[in-house]
Structure 1
Amino acid sequence: MTDTVVVIYSGGMDSYTLLHVARSRGLNVHALSFNYGQRHVRELESASAVCESLDIPHKVIDIRAMGEVMAGSALTSDVDVPEGHYEEGNMKATVVPNRNMILLSLATGYAVTVGANAVWYGAHGGDHAIYPDCRPEFVEKMDAVCRVANYEPVAVEAPFMALDKGEILAKGLKLGLDYSQTWTCYNGRELACGRCGSCVERLEAFAIHGVTDPLVYEESA
């Protein structure tokens, strides 16, 4: 088990849970967030507020200049965010080209800088069909590369790889986490839309546990 980890922290419910799981295991956590021009940049506000409240070192890296090599996604370009259930045919438009390879590479460099020997990110079982960079084979190969990319080996780990959104939420509820401190919606509006695939998946996870999502949604406002 590592003593210090860099957690890639988007501000969403998966990475929020991951951040707290790391803390619950007594790890020294450094949170790392990225502004890559995402439509839902509001998530970074949530991330910063949480880290400040927990006194966790938090670095936000602006990589918007890389937008030209990460274009074409509904999250970064002028493409409508798909609505409805979170499944491959509907949500493929939200794939950002090579996003996690880029973010994990930068996070590995940061891990070396702060003396961490692992990078954690929140890929989970529900992502496998849609996002190639959230699949076990991707994590396995990134882990192998990052262990030899520097003099100091850095592991790449996805602790939620075998879990779905409902199971991740179960971990957070057991820890007593307040999910009003997270942002999931792919649209960058004042309130969560409740209709995009990310919102639908989140609401389904809360419904499975018979718990009301503390976020305010447009349709209920």
Structure 2
Amino acid sequence: MKKALVLLSGGLDSTTALYVAKEQGFNELYAITFEYGQKHDKEIKAAKAVAKAAGVKEHKFVKIMLNQWDGCSLTDEKMDIHDGDINRTTIPDTYVPARNMVFLSVAASYADALDITDIFIGVSEVDYSGYVDCREEFIRSMEQTINLGTVLGAEKKQKITLHAPFMHMTKADEVRLGNRLGVDYSLTWTCYRGDEKPCGTCDSCLLRAKAFEEAGIKDPLSN
């Protein structure tokens, strides 16, 4: 069996990454989802549904409460989540400090325990909200660090690879790819807010709407 571990938030990117792993022949899939103190659990519920639909063998849920410090509107109850601006050039207050660094470190521990050499993450430096931990430079650096700090990489010499299949892909192309792979986007949740339906105005909703529009595909979550 060919094993892969996918960081699965339940959003559009991580869900598509899961199906890319399947397409690439990884037939024993593991997923890890983080509860990090976000204000709602809509994505966590989505992750459960996505993992079940994709036939994930083992799905771990890990609590790392990044809401213990202030400054991020996704986790800080004193802050409102503002309407988005996809043309913004500054880092938005929805940035969770070093989130991908933390998540990848925990995922590396899980992978090291199960002898998994392939980890998938759905980041991109093309269509993203200005997050510094979505850049290729960061991903390659983390890959090197993970291989230096795991038995699998440092002692067994089985290189752990961080796969970021959308790093240089627009989100519209990602949606087209996911559509071809049979991703059920109705199971996903992208909105920063946790209402019954997506708000349509936060950064994440705006980027998602733009992607589906440019891909020429109807978003099953759109009104």
Structure 1 residue 87 displacement after superposition: 3.7
Of 86-95 and 103-112, the range deviating more from structure 2: 86-95
- CA deviation map 1:51-95 (0-9, x unaligned): 12333121111112x4324x3111111322221332444761111
Alignment gaps of 5+ in structure 1: none
Aligned equivalents of 1:160 and 1:93: distance in 2? 23
- Partner in structure 1 of residue 130 of structure 2: 130
How high is the TM-score relative to the length of structure 1?
Answer: 0.90
Does the CA-based 8 Å contact 2:8-2:14 persist in structure 1? yes
The answer to whether the aligner puts 1:170 opposite 2:169 as a matched pair is no
The answer as to 2:180 corresponding to 1:181 is no
Return the alpha-carbon distance in structure 1 between the equivalents of residues 90 and 40 of structure 2.
18
Cα separation, 2, equivalents of 1:201 and 1:178: 18
| Deviation by residue 1:103-145 (Cα, 9 ceiling, x = unmatched) | 0000000001122012211111335661111111111110110
Q: Matches of 1:201 and 1:37 in 2, distance apart?
A: 23
1:160 matched to 2:179: no
Paired with 1:118 and 1:208, the residues of 2 have a C-alpha distance of 31
Task: Say what the alpha-carbon RMSD is for the aligned residues.
Answer: 1.9
Rate the CA distance shift 1:85–1:126 in 2: closer, same or farther, 3 A. Answer: farther
1:105 equivalenced with 2:111 (yes/no): no
- Alpha-carbon deviation of 1:209? 2.2
Percent identity, aligned pairs only?
A: 37
State the Cα distance separating 1:185 from its structure 2 match.
0.2
| Alignment match, 2:80 | 80
| Aligned residue number for residue 3 of structure 1 | 2
Question: How far, CA to CA, are the matches of 1:83 and 1:30 in structure 2?
Answer: 34
Mean CA deviation greater in 48-57 or 120-129: 120-129
Q: 1:157 to 1:185 in 2, by over 3 A?
A: same
Contact 2:86–2:203 (8 Å) recurs in 1:
yes
2:197 alignment partner AA: L
Structure-1 separation of matches of 2:188 and 2:37: 19
For the Cα contact (< 8 Å) 2:173–2:215, is it kept in 1? no
Paired AA for residue 188 in structure 1: G
Cα pair 1:87 1:130 within 8 Å, conserved? no
The residue identity in structure 1 corresponding to 2:9 is S
Q: Could you say which residue in structure 2 is the equivalent of 1:213?
A: 219
Deviation at 1:40, TM superposition (A): 4.0
User: How many residues get paired?
Assistant: 214
**Structure 1 position 48 matched with structure 2 position 54:** no
Which runs of structure 1 show a deviation greater than 3 angstroms over 4 or more consecutive aligned residues? 87-91, 126-129
Unaligned residue ranges in structure 2 (runs of 5+): 154-159
Measured at CA, do residues 129 and 193 of structure 1 come closer, stay the same or move farther in structure 2, by a change above 3 Å?
closer
Contact kept? 2:118, 2:162, Cα under 8 Å: yes
Alpha-carbon spacing, 1:116–1:124, altered in 2? closer, same or farther (3 Å): same
Aligned residue for 2:202? 196
Contact 1:146 1:155 in 2 (8 A): no
Is 1:92 the counterpart of 2:92? The answer is: yes
TM-score by length of 2: 0.89
Aligned to 2:15: 16
Higher helix fraction (1 or 2) = 1
